[in-house]
Structure 1
């Protein structure tokens, strides 16, 4: 197991809380009690790090800092400072699981925060359930995981059938007749691939190419050239952040510019806009919120951007990660640190969050619809479905 890089971060978070103790809200009692120890493993290195260090860990750090600046986490009316205990899982499922076994088993932390990605969450959820630790996961896209019906697991993201269903509805509404699909050959990619194929069966859209690729791919130009030759109306990439950027850059290089170019995850990241620059205009992908979504979303976006030196949250999982932290905060304020009571509170109530109200049915967030986002003039706008859109879909996509 790796040494916790967060020893320094832990000290910083505690110091902020100690220095700001006088700022505690009058309605909440301050007490000289033990800190709330919250453990997690997250990718700081390896192929998962690009997503984890945008969508999750920055939010963990900012949340703990904000809570400690208010005197600590409200635990049924008593504020206790947060002590974060974080490890690098090195983008390795085995390392991730061993770390959580230690955190929950021998370390007996009060609470855990989830790892990044469908694969890690799929592996961890049964273990956390056995130990009785609630998991509010903002980056797990897996209907199989939902169907395991683990009482302590809650997924904040819209599941593959919802996301792919919204995408296909958008394609149909915009007269798309032919598409090509490129997908990551892992749990995330395969489940979304199955979901889009299921949604397409209800349409007359023809799929001219279906192609999987492995983690760590370095060149997608051969398959993109094959797809370009078939001239589909839409390209659908079910891709991880590095591959989303790779596919976009190579599509531009070979002059492949379909009516709709959809790639995710990673499209909703500031990094994507920065790397692809003006050519990002019109590209679509997985996204569900932005600063226009709610006053809380605007405040969160501005606080995150200010804290991390202009680094913006992504317009999909980052918002859902903050929503998970909001739900956890509300739960602990109501029922304290009894993990069974937290689990019951989460399961039985509707929760107010920056992305809108969230209620769970089993492990699934049933309140947030499947959505599609699109880069427009520097902002990743929600463009589908129309009832939650922050802007109208631009189609056809402009030239790269």
Structure 2
């Protein structure tokens, strides 16, 4: 072999080694999460979705970035349940850690704060565990929300569900945190318009430790429905104290919490009949991705069920990101265009965005029945009918 040919071969080898090394470099994906603080009991549902997705994608060879597969490396920081700190972390992820992609924090206040950061740096991010009419004021193009559970829409559909099941009177108790308060803002006038009498209407602080006074008033009012606009911690508190006081309303609704696996295990048969918000189920045969996800989750987490609300929404956001990156790569402008215009196949069926909102997935409600979560509303995606407590 001539000296010239040897030099060319060596140069080619170096080039190919460079391409191989570049292809093997991890894609760095950053996020903040409420590992500690007020929302720490809710965040594991989201973390588990992120970790499962990264593991499954890496086992399949890595994240497809416009035809090149690269392993995923998750980079995260504890935002201590502080929305302001969450925004600071996302700025750090973008400007100092130089992450390739972003995934969302937990909760509505955190999303609202982070929205300003992704807008500032024109860095697209698919949100998940958040819904507020306030997000409609955000300029479209850098953040999207896969869940349809916006408070104004939830109120309208919940009232329809109540009417369909003969509810004439209700008690409404609400956490003062933003998502609960916003749901209350739209629910109370919707109940009035529907002719459903609100006999108890109370609010309580985020760190509530005792609901007995409120629950005693509810029992005395003898209402058809109890509507608890609660977060996970207060949903658990409600259940424990409602059992002791003997709350027997045939319709009982808790906003966030009952979809967590620990909820059903903690309360057993007493949890049967509890209604909550959620739009996903592995039993819905129209969504072929749902069952494999469910099985993979249970396999990884030793028989534990995914959170039918937060884990499902978080995983949907990752599927959307994965499919968008496969088409657009890491170019922010191309990624923004794909997310804004394409239809994505998820565990919850097809998703397409109109502005920042999911234009396909309907507002829906789940109910625990015989230890399992079932979709009961709307009828077009229901896996079971409503069951009175």
Relative to the length of structure 2, the TM-score reads 0.91
> 1:9 corresponds to which residue?
none
Shift of 1:336: 0.2
Residues in 2 aligned to 1:309 and 1:123: alpha-carbon distance in whole angstroms: 35
What displacement does 1:34 show? 2.5
What residue is the counterpart of 2:181 in the other structure?
A: 190
SS in 2 for 1:232: coil
Give the Cα–Cα distance (whole angstroms) in 2 for the partners of residues 105 and 221 of structure 1. Answer: 49
Q: Quick check: 2:23–2:69 contact (8 Å CA) kept in 1? A: no
- Equivalent residues in 2 for 1:279-294, closer than 5 Å: 279-293=270-284, 294=287
Superposition pairs of residues 292-307 of structure 1, within 5 angstroms: 292-293=283-284, 294-307=287-300
| Residue 386 (structure 1) aligns with | 379
* Contact 1:185-1:213 within 8 A present in 2 as well: yes
- The count of aligned residue pairs is 367
Instruction: Verify: 1:70 aligned to 2:63, yes or no.
Output: no
**Residue 344 of structure 2: SS of its match in structure 1?**
coil
Measure the CA separation in 1 of the matches of 2:23 and 2:180: 48
1:81 to 35, 53, 71: 71
Partner of 1:361: 354
Give the deviation of 1:281 after TM superposition: 0.9
Structure 1 Cα separation of the partners of residues 199 and 99 of structure 2: 51
Report what 1:8 is aligned to. Answer: none
Is 1:106 matched with 2:96?
A: yes
Q: Residue in 2 aligned with 1:241?
A: 232
Q: Distance between the aligned counterparts of 1:366 and 1:193, measured in 2? A: 24
2:278–2:308: 8 Å Cα contact kept in structure 1? Answer: yes
* Counterpart-to-counterpart distance in 2, 1:358 and 1:195: 25
User: Alpha-carbon deviation of 1:31?
Assistant: 6.0
Aligned to 1:318: 311
User: Does 1:137 find its partner at 2:130?
Assistant: no
Q: Give CA deviations for 1:217-260 in whole Å, capped at 9, x if unaligned.
A: 11111111112211111000010101001111111110111010
Does 1:351 find its partner at 2:373?
no
Q: Distance in 2 between matches of 1:116 and 1:232?
A: 34
Question: Which stretch shows the higher mean deviation, 197-206 or 274-283?
Answer: 197-206
Q: Deviations over 1:155-197 (max 9, x none)?
A: 1112112222221101011111111111111210111111212
Q: Give ranges in structure 1 of 5+ residues lacking alignment.
A: 1-28
- For normalisation by structure 1, the TM-score amounts to 0.89
Question: What do residues 13-71 of structure 1 show as CA deviations (whole Å, max 9, x unaligned)?
Answer: xxxxxxxxxxxxxxxx99644321111111112221211101x1111111111111122
**Rg (Cα) greater in structure:** 2
Confirm or deny that 1:342 pairs with 2:335.
yes
What is the RMSD computed on CA atoms of the aligned residues? Answer: 1.5
| Deviation per residue, 1:293-352 (Å, 9 max, x gap) | 233111101101110122221112211211111110100000100122111111111211
Contact kept? 1:241, 1:266, Cα under 8 Å: yes
Deviation of 1:149 after TM superposition, in Å, equals: 3.1
